[in-house]
Amino acid sequence: MPRPFLRTVALLGAFLAALGALTGPALAAGSGQNAGPGWAVGSARPAPPSGLLLINGARVGTGDNGSKPVIFPTGRGLAGAVQVLRLGSRSLVIPMAALPFLGRGLSPSLFEPGALARSERDGRLPLTLRFRGRLHAPPGVTVTRTGPGTAEGYLTASGARELGAALARQLVADHDRGSYGTDGLFAGGLSLALPGPPGGPAPRAPVPARPGFPMHMLTVTATTMNGQPDTGDAVFVFSVTNAGAIGIDQENFFYHGSVKYSVPTGTYWAIGDFVQFHGPSDVYREDVLPQFTVRGNTTVHLSERAATSEIGFAVPRPANLLSQALTIERLAPAVTGGLSLGTSGSDRLWVSPVTRAPADGVLRAYTSASLTSPGHRAVPYAYALNHADPAGLIPRDQRYVARPGDLAAVRENYYQDVRSASAGWCPAGGFDTPVDAICLVGAGPFLSLPGRQIQYFTARPASYWSTSYWEDGQGDGGQSDAWRLLHGGEHLTEDWNRYPLHPGPSVILPGSSALTGIPSAIRAGNVLSLQVTPFSDSTYGHLGSGFLTISKVSGRYAVYQDGARIAAGNAVKAAGGLNPTLTVRARLSPRPSVVRFVLTASRAGRRFPLSAASRDVWTWPTRPEPRATLTAPWACRINRITGKILDEHCAVQGMLTLRYLVAGLSPSGTTRPGRQQISLTVGHLQEAPSSPISPVRARVSFNGGRTWQPATVRRDGPARFRVTFTGRPSLVTLRVTARDAAGDTITETLPAAYRITR
């Protein structure tokens, strides 16, 4: 019986290197929370899906620069699994069913996030097909133009799922023969790639470079559990000294017990991936060869038998295993890389012990798991666990026992106006810094919302965690959290999506000094940089789905200096359609002046009857401040890969913020008629000068803004106010105007902010 290739989601620790340039302007247009420079390594929150459609129908969020991708698979099995590889300075996000065909019918361009972001339009993945003789279009591909030996077409989400299933079948058929890319779907020399530049020719295959140094033959042999030569399982070979030493063939497959590489002299390490199917519970084994040196022709060996340590987890309350993962990284001065192997359900995962730390670089191994409460419970619970092995070692005992004192318990309240039985959530976590986060959504049960859940997080030693929540299992709506440092024994409460929703700023929470970020409004010289995320709730650190085009979202922005418009446009296009956060750059004149920033946002559909629109107008005085300096961890420019602060010389601008708390709000976003009370907090951006807040004005409308009535506003503290009015059954539209002593102002209008019902 054929042994289909690994049903896994494997994520490289070095993936984020390809999500942006090594350095860049503080807030480049088209970047944002998902791919933008507002956050650096360790500072990013797992983001809602970016809308990048993979060739098998899965979607991938590019993640902020410090987080690994958020994967929304199409399901379980080969059709939904994803591998993320780093090849030198490049990273590829590859559905597992497509992995054997990389370079064997499928161009690497199909798996580069940056190339996908530039090519995809309106939810379609465009393709260039090349073939010999007559075209036999693969399943799911819509062909729009055919010529001699070449054709153009595209994949929709449903077509991509169909192609993904066909790729999985092809992989199974080819596995034992090792005939990847030579028959079936790829008969007649068929190959698929992204189209070339608009109006230009399709890109040619690159000409192999001739190395200027001696190359040696590296042979990796492998045997199965019964000692026979392996065919079809995977091997990953990494250089410790030269990121470009191996190139596109960093990942390969055993054929009749071996695979060969041409490599220069250097230090390397390798991992062999092996799988056996046993009905409902599959077994995965990882053999880690931590270090070897190549000075001439060299042979090394990997064995399925060597993986003798089983990954396991035990928790205080009854729970079902949802998913588990093994992450192996290698940190070295010249090269950082590795992989993660994730399995779901009752699958079993084994790894080979490493009892002696490698001499070059640092080997790090982590295990993680998600578990959920069994059956139907009034308040379900879940576990998000991480465990770090000692640096350089992989112990034989890989069973992690989570004791109550090791965990932080967070009682989570989810507000949602439309009921959903398929809401998704994803906790991502790390240790000293949160670069070890892995986020896989859709592998297990969903939440029924509105509702509650208790999440238990590994928090001893203190660990960074960030959770994202989506109103459905495909990543629509919802919120994502900033990184929070949790401690063992803590008991916390967190509200999600509590109405009204409105634009939110960048935040670094207390205790997160290991993180770096860029404030939402800064001036560096005469360059103004802004970033704002609509549809955020008022929990400090939460950001909404913003301008992601997975929803029918629209918006406009405009920036004025002393009344003259200096920047304007479509907010969705400016965000790139793949980022929730609008980022804008505008050049100011050097004279002291007043900036006015106007932002509108709306999203359509029956899923969003409440808080589906906002209009904000900010003003603040501005002038050049050449001596202004931010305090770490805030920065004006950041190295997107290392998180190193490149520039601290800029001034945070006077963009005021608002936070709301509607008294008596039900989980569905409604209150009872009569006296309405809203607690309102007016704030400044972190690192911005703080000025006393002047009295606040508020108005309400019960007919969509056609008529307005004033609300009573009383001060409860220096920046806190209580807004009261008498409400009748209707959708409540709010308008709040606030000002501080420095002349900074905000006027925020929120149609259908929440509902009053009998």
Can you tell me the distance from the alpha carbon of 596 to that of 354, in angstroms, rounded to the nearest whole number?
59
Q: How confident is the model at residue 64 (pLDDT cuts 50, 70, 90)?
A: very low
Closest to 735 measured CA to CA, from 598, 616, 600:
616
Coil vs helix vs strand at 76: coil
Closest to 43 measured CA to CA, from 647, 642, 579:
642
Out of 161-175, 218-232, 435-449, 544-558, the most confident range is: 218-232
Q: Which residue has the tokens 């799988």?
A: 275
pLDDT at residue 316 tops 70: yes
**Secondary structure (DSSP) of 392-416:** T-B-S--EEE--GGGEEEEEEEE--
> Mean pLDDT score of the chain, rounded to an integer?
83
Q: How confident is the model at residue 37 (pLDDT cuts 50, 70, 90)?
A: very low
Can you tell me the distance from the alpha carbon of 694 to that of 682, in angstroms, rounded to the nearest whole number?
10
- 3-state SS string over 108-147? HHHHCHHHHHHHCECCEEEEEEECCCCCCCCCCCEEEEEE
pLDDT score, position 445: 61
Q: What is the pLDDT of residues 524-537, one digit of tens each?
A: 999 999 999 999 99
pLDDT score, position 89: 54
Q: How confident is the model at residue 112 (pLDDT cuts 50, 70, 90)?
A: confident
Q: What is the pLDDT of residues 87-105, one digit of tens each?
A: 555 667 777 788 888 888 9
pLDDT score, position 644: 67
Q: Which of 8-17, 217-226, 399-408 has the lowest mean pLDDT?
A: 8-17
Between the alpha carbon of residue 397 and those of residues 325, 352, 366, 390, 394, the distances in Å are: 16, 11, 13, 12, 9
- Which neighbouring-strand residues pair with 321? 371
Q: What is the pLDDT of residues 578-618, one digit of tens each?
A: 678 999 999 999 999 999 999 999 998 888 999 999 999 99
pLDDT score, position 512: 73
pLDDT at residue 28 tops 50: no
pLDDT at residue 642 tops 70: no
pLDDT score, position 638: 74
pLDDT score, position 45: 39
Q: Report the pLDDT averaged over residues 18-45.
A: 29
Can you tell me the distance from the alpha carbon of 707 to that of 659, in angstroms, rounded to the nearest whole number?
24
Closest to 214 measured CA to CA, from 292, 296, 269, 291:
296
Answer whether 655's CB lies under 8 Å from 691's CB. Answer: no
Answer whether 541's CB lies under 8 Å from 482's CB. Answer: yes
Can you tell me the distance from the alpha carbon of 430 to that of 670, in angstroms, rounded to the nearest whole number?
37
Q: What is the pLDDT of residues 10-22, one digit of tens each?
A: 222 222 222 222 2
Can you tell me the distance from the alpha carbon of 9 to that of 440, in angstroms, rounded to the nearest whole number?
8
Domains of the chain: 29-198 (no CATH), 504-756 (2.60.40.10)
pLDDT score, position 327: 82
Q: Report the pLDDT averaged over residues 129-151.
A: 94
Q: Report the pLDDT averaged over residues 166-181.
A: 85
Q: Report the pLDDT averaged over residues 622-633.
A: 93
Residues 599, 604, 606: CA angle, nearest 5 degrees: 145
Q: Is 145 exposed, middle or buried (0-12, 13-18, 19+ CB in 10 A)?
A: exposed
- Half-sphere exposure (CA, 13 Å, Cβ side) for 710? 5
pLDDT at residue 671 tops 70: yes
Looking at residue 621, its amino acid is P
Q: Report the pLDDT averaged over residues 114-132.
A: 86
- The count of residues in the chain is 758
Out of 216-230, 244-258, 314-328, the most confident range is: 216-230
pLDDT score, position 579: 77
Q: Report the pLDDT averaged over residues 420-429.
A: 82
Q: Which of 158-162, 185-189, 428-432, 506-510 has the lowest mean pLDDT?
A: 428-432
Cα Rg for the chain, rounded, in angstroms? 27
pLDDT at residue 80 tops 80: no
Q: What is the pLDDT of residues 644-660, one digit of tens each?
A: 677 889 999 999 999 99
Tokens representing residue 19 in the block: 């999500």
pLDDT score, position 75: 63
Answer whether 598's CB lies under 8 Å from 616's CB. Answer: yes
Tokens representing residue 27 in the block: 């807030």
pLDDT score, position 86: 60
pLDDT at residue 504 tops 80: yes
Can you tell me the distance from the alpha carbon of 180 to that of 174, in angstroms, rounded to the nearest whole number?
6
- Continuous H helices in 541-604: 571-575
Contacts of 413 (CB under 8 A, 6+ apart): 452, 493, 494, 495, 496, 498, 667
Can you tell me the distance from the alpha carbon of 191 to that of 168, in angstroms, rounded to the nearest whole number?
17
Can you tell me the distance from the alpha carbon of 326 to that of 292, in angstroms, rounded to the nearest whole number?
22
pLDDT score, position 549: 63
Helix (H) or strand (E) run with residue 429 in it: strand 420-430
Q: How confident is the model at residue 685 (pLDDT cuts 50, 70, 90)?
A: very high
The answer to whether the Cα torsion of 244, 245, 249, 254 is positive or negative is negative
Answer whether 344's CB lies under 8 Å from 20's CB. Answer: no
Q: What is the pLDDT of residues 739-750, one digit of tens each?
A: 999 999 999 999
Out of 49-53, 169-173, 284-288, the most confident range is: 284-288
Closest to 239 measured CA to CA, from 256, 215, 207:
215
pLDDT at residue 121 tops 70: yes
Answer whether 84's CB lies under 8 Å from 73's CB. Answer: no
pLDDT score, position 471: 86
Looking at residue 83, its amino acid is Q
Answer whether 306's CB lies under 8 Å from 289's CB. Answer: no
pLDDT score, position 426: 80
Q: Which of 36-40, 595-599, 674-678 has the lowest mean pLDDT?
A: 36-40
Answer whether 190's CB lies under 8 Å from 107's CB. Answer: no
Closest to 193 measured CA to CA, from 150, 161, 249, 230:
150
Q: Report the pLDDT averaged over residues 209-217.
A: 72
pLDDT at residue 30 tops 50: no
pLDDT at residue 40 tops 90: no
Q: Report the pLDDT averaged over residues 196-201.
A: 46
